[in-house]
Structure 1
């Protein structure tokens, strides 16, 4: 897959490259991973007195949620939101909210994610959250006694957070990495090439050191050709970083002994070694590079990209694995989209003709109705054909939500964040393997509406 470029990024000027680990350096089989998380969280909820036993028997439907959606805790809805904050699709539980109800709730509202009523699903780790929340809302609609929507959202979020923190999930992964982890030999090759070109490499991950070591031993060590282990490859490894707090607050560094895994307080320079916690201020100061000389790659749009741009001005790259299937859908639907574009061109010409005649009528010229009627009939025919083709187009994507980076004809809220905060983005970190470490990434010139010659002709 190619690397997609939002703004100029000259890799010759990058001295340090940092990586998140989960879903960045190491990819997971997302459906299997999120099915496990969903099952464990559902069982935990079912063990609580305010949740029925039936919760633990809920089946996981991977398509029911996707990255970039927004949970409305007040109304119990799962939303697809445009870059302008307008709701384009809404589900209440497992049922699509009809247009009339959607308009009543959201017509006068622009969704603001700073509002505590809303929570975004900004990483693949959140898919199980969206699916389970929707299922619980449906159970509540079906008559089960359950907490209110806000508590449903908070309880699901809490249980999933605990699963990630207390080793419940990772202990299962350790026993069966083959099932959950995607091995990608090109990642090791790409990293070793960057070292050959003199780049410093670092990891900043929220995972603990024990899990980090086991996962990278499995995913990287077998494919290294110039280094014995991944520890020899990275200058600095920071575990349990608690991003985005790592970029927003000042925490202390603990140094980890890789042999004993014992930790000690560290106040000296952070220039090499394995650590826990800390903060970007000291890290960047000790590295001695400006923010524009550091590139960080991660999968979490807020924790790995937005928070960095707002606090330390590092260059950023987003790894959006969910985009891979979407790109395949775009390729398969290309002929349908081309036909839609052709018909939209015809519609534009027809609308101009109608507007000209209508203006002449307004100015007093005698334009018989019989001259306009065939044009309106032709417009109705075009609209019908376009509507049918749009139905065909949607069949290539998620059956409930469509495209991740689209919300109807608009870009989605998630797409707006990707464009605004990620210098480049890609489907997997090994996409960089196809590019020289000296690549000058340049975006194409963006065409604004007033620059579209089809509108000016």
Structure 2
């Protein structure tokens, strides 16, 4: 019985290996086959298999595991606010863009002509890098390689030849990209990664203004432009807060299942806390919409204006009580954290000391891999979950039938090129060049369906992006929205899938 079961497993793995990774040509063709025969046979085989069955769709409600996580061990649930519990509508991007653009004109005296530059939805994606010195926006993979075709000066793409002239090769030195030392200064002197969704309208404004300067032949310093745009968008946040408070429903999505999720946590006696960089009145307006007017009753600890990531890294910074009536902070010394009291600033060490919580019992959700997740998992042993709203669009794209077909043919064509690249057939180089051009065309198509300029948030042509590599390192699980956890029980264990290493793909037991 055991032998038969193992044999069936072997056959299943062999079937999938042949289907997706290998084309066995020589066994099925005569000894006089040509490269064109091999290509036609591979194409026919791909079409035949795809006509029978396409890969299954990925569920948009999925919770994806990077590391094994047993919810039975979790007694404390923590949450960020922005883009974690509060999911914003596209109107928020337009608002932040308009406020930043107007401040560039009124505060920094930029040309009034930029008032005509409108926000471009779907122009940029999260996770891109901006070279402050050269004024270039680009996508970098997990090996610190620039993805050609995703480097822009303003709204204009930069050629591969120009990129190589500027950087000497396609690899960016680690020190140029990542100088996240103990102080976690995420804006470096060379390059900055724009890792949260609030940065997307900022990127659009940056590129729009740079393009305006380039086309009108106005001399500018890229570093000054970057700083001015960042400052303007940041200065617009207080006004953004007041406008959202006045009309919260215009800017926030309401997930009716979120309250059900919180009710379940409370029913199972879980401790809950909220740590956010946003001010109380802004949070109160949003939480009242998404959870209800009694939202504070869910939480054992609420900390606003925490100034993450410094909340997680500073050694000493007093936690203070926020007074709702006077909208100010009190000077009393805080010796315990009480439910029903709103707190301001502080440090993670104070939080853990006063609550007696243990890191391994705690699961914290946020949207920013660095500000929310990196320090708590690396330094404090917390378990972490990332809320990545873009997953809905990414999964919709992955589930598209044409996308699946193109991916399958790309895998087979790539294998065919690899297998036949040493062919001694006359005109082999010309034939292989045609195949490589077709492969390049398919890869561009697959990239553009995610985003015409930059492709997928999670991958370049072959590799994970710099963003997704950090996400997978710092998050135990990730999903598109909090309520997706309702799909599983409160005692569910999330298991990561066994990945296939390059040296394992031909093995039956992967």
How far does the alpha carbon of each residue in 1:81-134 deviate from its partner, in whole angstroms, 9 at most, with x for none? 111112112101110001111011224433423241211111000011111111
Task: Say whether the 8 Å CA contact 2:447–2:461 is kept in structure 1.
Answer: no
Q: What's the offset of the Cα at 1:28?
A: 0.4
User: Secondary structure, in 3 states, of the residue corresponding to 1:63?
Assistant: coil
Matched, 1:5 2:78: no
Among 213, 219, 239, which residue is 1:140 paired with?
A: 213
Matched, 1:216 2:287: yes
Among 407, 412, 418, which residue is 1:342 paired with?
A: 412
User: Secondary structure, in 3 states, of the residue corresponding to 1:62?
Assistant: coil
Q: What's the offset of the Cα at 1:144?
A: 5.0
Among 373, 379, 383, which residue is 1:315 paired with?
A: 383
Map 1:11-410 → 2, pairs under 5 A:
11-29=71-89, 31-48=90-107, 50-88=109-147, 89-108=150-169, 109-110=172-173, 111-114=176-179, 115-143=188-216, 145=218, 147-164=220-237, 167-221=238-292, 229-249=294-314, 250-257=316-323, 261=327, 263-264=329-330, 265-272=332-339, 273-332=341-400, 333-351=403-421, 354=422, 371-373=424-426, 375-410=428-463
- The corresponding residue for 2:37 is none
User: Secondary structure, in 3 states, of the residue corresponding to 1:78?
Assistant: strand
Distance in 1 (CA, whole Å) between partners of 2:319 and 2:193 is 30
Distance in 2 (CA, whole Å) between partners of 1:61 and 1:242 is 30
Change (3 A) 1:378 1:143: closer
The aligned length equals 430
Task: Say whether the 8 Å CA contact 2:72–2:491 is kept in structure 1.
Answer: yes
Worse-superposed segment, 237-246 or 99-108? 99-108
How far does the alpha carbon of each residue in 1:246-290 deviate from its partner, in whole angstroms, 9 at most, with x for none? 101132112234566554234212253321111100101122122
Task: Say whether the 8 Å CA contact 1:271–1:287 is kept in structure 2.
Answer: no
Task: Say whether the 8 Å CA contact 1:255–1:275 is kept in structure 2.
Answer: yes
TM-score, length of structure 2 as denominator length: 0.80
Worse-superposed segment, 402-411 or 121-130? 402-411
Task: Say whether the 8 Å CA contact 2:362–2:382 is kept in structure 1.
Answer: yes
Change (3 A) 1:196 1:427: same
Task: Say whether the 8 Å CA contact 2:202–2:233 is kept in structure 1.
Answer: yes
Distance in 1 (CA, whole Å) between partners of 2:291 and 2:410 is 45
Q: What's the offset of the Cα at 1:344?
A: 2.1
- The corresponding residue for 1:364 is none
Distance in 2 (CA, whole Å) between partners of 1:344 and 1:279 is 51
Distance in 2 (CA, whole Å) between partners of 1:118 and 1:392 is 29
Q: What's the offset of the Cα at 1:41?
A: 0.7
User: Secondary structure, in 3 states, of the residue corresponding to 1:318?
Assistant: strand
Distance in 2 (CA, whole Å) between partners of 1:77 and 1:391 is 21
How far does the alpha carbon of each residue in 1:275-313 deviate from its partner, in whole angstroms, 9 at most, with x for none? 111110010112212211111101112110123233322
Distance in 2 (CA, whole Å) between partners of 1:234 and 1:376 is 66
Q: What's the offset of the Cα at 1:74?
A: 0.5
How far does the alpha carbon of each residue in 1:122-149 deviate from its partner, in whole angstroms, 9 at most, with x for none? 1000011111111121122123546411
Q: What's the offset of the Cα at 1:317?
A: 1.1
RMSD: 2.0
Map 1:430-445 → 2, pairs under 5 A:
430-445=483-498
Q: What's the offset of the Cα at 1:159?
A: 1.3
How far does the alpha carbon of each residue in 1:38-79 deviate from its partner, in whole angstroms, 9 at most, with x for none? 111111111245411112221111222210001111011001
Change (3 A) 1:381 1:87: closer
Q: What's the offset of the Cα at 1:323?
A: 2.3
Q: What's the offset of the Cα at 1:236?
A: 0.9
How far does the alpha carbon of each residue in 1:433-457 deviate from its partner, in whole angstroms, 9 at most, with x for none? 212121111101122111111799x
Task: Say whether the 8 Å CA contact 1:62–1:127 is kept in structure 2.
Answer: no
Task: Say whether the 8 Å CA contact 2:321–2:334 is kept in structure 1.
Answer: no
User: Secondary structure, in 3 states, of the residue corresponding to 2:151?
Assistant: strand
